[in-house]
Amino acid sequence: MPFTEFLTNGDLKFVIILYAFLITAIIYFIKKTANKSEQKSYNLKINKLVNWSLLISIFSLLLGLMHSFYFIAKAKGIANHLLFGGLSNVIITPVLGVAIAMIIKLLATPLKENN
């Protein structure tokens, strides 16, 4: 699977939310570097975004599995292309969410203050 396809596939509503979390974390990181005295409060906000992105990833996985099994049941049987195609699409969004959570977690590392 090409990298651009991985970044754009998945459940669109969850992908948009995850990218919004990443953009928000980057903004907090920029503010943290500009104002090092408020570093702890920005790190707390960034860590909250990590937790929320992991929760969104789990929710997208469960919702995607539910949709996959619903469509398999509608087809009145398990066809290999339905099962494997659906399950591969289900896993894209949670993997993207975990990757974004890891990137956000890196942004929460404390900065050294130069005295």
CA distance 68 to 84: 10
CB 61 within 8 A of CB 93: yes
- Give the pLDDT confidence of 66-89 residue by residue, as tens digits: 887 787 778 777 767 767 777 777
Q: What is the pTM of this model?
A: 0.81
Q: Using CA atoms, how far apart are residues 87 and 65, in angstroms rounded to an integer?
A: 7
Q: What is the pLDDT of residues 13-65, one digit of tens each?
A: 888 899 999 999 999 999 999 988 888 899 999 999 999 999 999 998 888 88
pLDDT digits (tens, 9 = 90+) for 31-41: 999 988 888 89
CB 21 within 8 A of CB 49: yes
- Contact call for residues 60 and 9 (beta carbons, < 8 A): no
Cα(37)–Cα(100) distance, rounded to whole angstroms? 26
